[in-house]
Structure 1
């Protein structure tokens, strides 16, 4: 069964458009994002109780707009919280999924590793304050809870 297009595009900055007009209602875009799945062919699909349709996505529909490094009161462990454009809920960064894609864009994976998320330029600069370079190897990493997490490089944003 062929999935028809939604006539919705998402640009590389995470701005959503319907038939060329920007979708400005945050609640609608949030609803759509909550219903995004990956199709068998790796394309993004909106799947709701009324049906499904295919998105036209320049990169990924998930764009990180802000990062916050916090300490959990219950365990004392540090974590990095990701605020995603158009979403009210936050994601906890899985630092093992950090990688640099084309054009030196930083990505990680979200929602149990299913989707790539692109760091916006402001979020990238916030995150860069925590990036360190290994003097021996020249590898970039972040340190979280005493553990080093390398930032892999070279792969496209959709690489796993």
Structure 2
């Protein structure tokens, strides 16, 4: 079974709480059950810096306000898809808050874009076979379920 996990943070790359711990540990735990997990995460600076063995899979000319590229790569044993959208994710602070401690005003747009890409990946739109299952971690990935429902995905 092929699973696409979608998370806004993943240990050891970017962590604000328990979500990152689960997203980082789940792929290895499921491998022992013959489940192949790829995790889609935003292209925060720390993620982009750590990514190795990259392959560009898809380019969006305009994804929620700017160009974006979906990149496949590895960080340690983690197989990742990364949404490289600098206009959404290349900024200081943590994934949700700016350096001033306030929510980024476009958080809804940022994570709607992540969800859009999750749905496209799930449907096999990057030249990949469709995933059997999408595991959507928390509110940041929830809109992918709506996109998939409308488009008839997994």
* Structure with greater contact order relative to length (CA < 8 Å, sep ≥ 6): 2
Question: TM-score, structure 1 length as denominator?
Answer: 0.31
**Structure with the largest fraction of strand:** 1
**Structure with the largest fraction of helix:** 2
Larger radius of gyration: 1
